[in-house]
Amino acid sequence: KKRFGYGHCRLAIDSLSAFWLDKPAMARKYSYFIKKVLNRWNMTIVATSQYAITTSDAFGFGVEHIADGIIRFRRAIRNGVLKRYLIIEKMRQTPHDLHLWEIEIVDGVGLKIVRPAIERAEDYALPTHVKRRIIRAREEKDSEIP
């Protein structure tokens, strides 16, 4: 910071998850410390954080609690083709679109927003394990009637 001056600047960190790989229980403490120090220096931080592939949840405590904005990227295979998506999950003090958007990464152009994601039956259907529990409860109730 001394070398480049004391004005506003940006810092990219890829990935914050790497800071606490050896001590995941310290994630919250480390991330608060990073934010406190870098905010004092008028730095805007653009950071990545890894999500678990199996659950799509943040590893450990994540950085959600210190982030002013969270832009999440997702992917899925639809009809045998990889589709990429983007959603703004959090943008503190800023009204923002809540839709999931399909995106493409185009050579020489970069990230291109294609269209809002198409609604699917799975977006509204109950998870299978919940359906089973409802059916089981209904069967038990019906079996009580003589």
First CA to last CA across the chain, in angstroms?
Answer: 80
d(CA 72, CA 64): 11
How confident is the model at residue 96, as a pLDDT? 92
pLDDT band at 115 (very low <50, low <70, confident <90, very high): very high
Two tokens, residue 107: 């050579």
Q: Model confidence over 39-96: pLDDT tens digits? A: 888 888 888 887 765 555 554 456 777 888 889 888 888 889 999 999 998 999 999 9
Q: Model confidence over 17-55: pLDDT tens digits? A: 787 778 777 888 888 888 898 888 888 888 888 776 555
The dihedrals phi and psi of 110, each to the nearest 5 degrees, come to 110, -145
Contact partners, residue 41, CB within 8 Å, separation at least 6: 1, 6, 9
How confident is the model at residue 105, as a pLDDT? 96
Average pLDDT of the segment spanning 100-105: 94
Q: Which helix (H) or strand (E) holds 112?
A: strand 110-116
For residues 27 and 62, the answer to whether their CB atoms sit within 8 Å is yes
* Cis peptide bond upstream of 143, omega within 30: no
The domain locations on the chain are 1-67, 71-146
Predicted model pTM? 0.67
